[in-house]
Amino acid sequence: MTRKKSLPALTHSELAELRTAKQLLENPGLAAKISSFVGTPIEKGFALLPKQWNTVVNDAARKAIEAALKVALWTLDKVEAKSGAPSNWWHKLAASASGAAGGALGLAALSVELPVSTTIMLRSIADIARSEGENLKLADAQLECVQVLALGGTSKDDDGTEIGYFAARTAMAKAVAEAAAHFAAQGVTQHGAPAIVRLIAIVASRFSIVVSEKAAAQAVPIVGAIGGAVINTLFIDHFQDMARGHFIVRRLERLHGAEAVQLAYQDL
């Protein structure tokens, strides 16, 4: 009988990296950062949104995910496989410019501005993935980048007895696998296929929660163009943190196996 080869245990430095990842993934805190900037609890911003804001935000989030998915499948495999740290500040500057335009026009501009800022964020997420050793020529790695957009918000369907990050990944695992299999078989055509529609719906349902916080902040009268730029900088910073945590975990899983890393994560 062939004995299964055991994987090496996580080193002290790897456990320190995993601790950093857990702190990023389990304590996102975007609402607190935005509230600190606008000088008022974000709940007051929600009260200022028009009655149809929920429909507007959900529709904008879905369209942004659709645009991000197209970017992932058409361009992420062309991200240069170089070593070194990701260019987070360049992406923050681009997102800031997009936010300034959206902030000046208010909620009405969300459906136009959000796909732009989401695409910028996806490029930044891909750069972080590249820095952690992901092969972005693979559909699986590209879809992991899209999945990061769902890691920054808590879904009402999440099981509170589970660790948030791994619960979210488990909830999306089947949809990501089906979408990856579809693209492996069909290429980048047929975006209306059930596997793609399902993935977009799952990611958008979680992404829209964070988008709602962004929209609420931009509804505060004092925000305007300058505030919109700052809020978008906080927005992309939030997802850069999610990406860094997620792809640290993914790198360690490639070295030690998913089960060992999840157990170590829970023990921290």
| 11 compared with 209, residue with greater pLDDT | 11
Amino acid at 179: A
Least confident of 70-79, 89-98, 231-240, 247-256: 89-98
Amino acid at 140: D
Predicted TM-score of the model (pTM): 0.82
For the chain, the domains span 40-267
**Rounded to the nearest 10 degrees, how much is the dihedral formed by the CA atoms of 153, 156, 162, 165?**
-20
b/e string for 186-216 if b means 16 or more Cβ within 10 A? eeeeeeebebbebbbebbbbbbbbbbbbbbb
| Residue 160 CB neighbour total at 10 angstroms | 7
| 225 compared with 49, residue with greater pLDDT | 49
pLDDT above 90: residue 4:
no
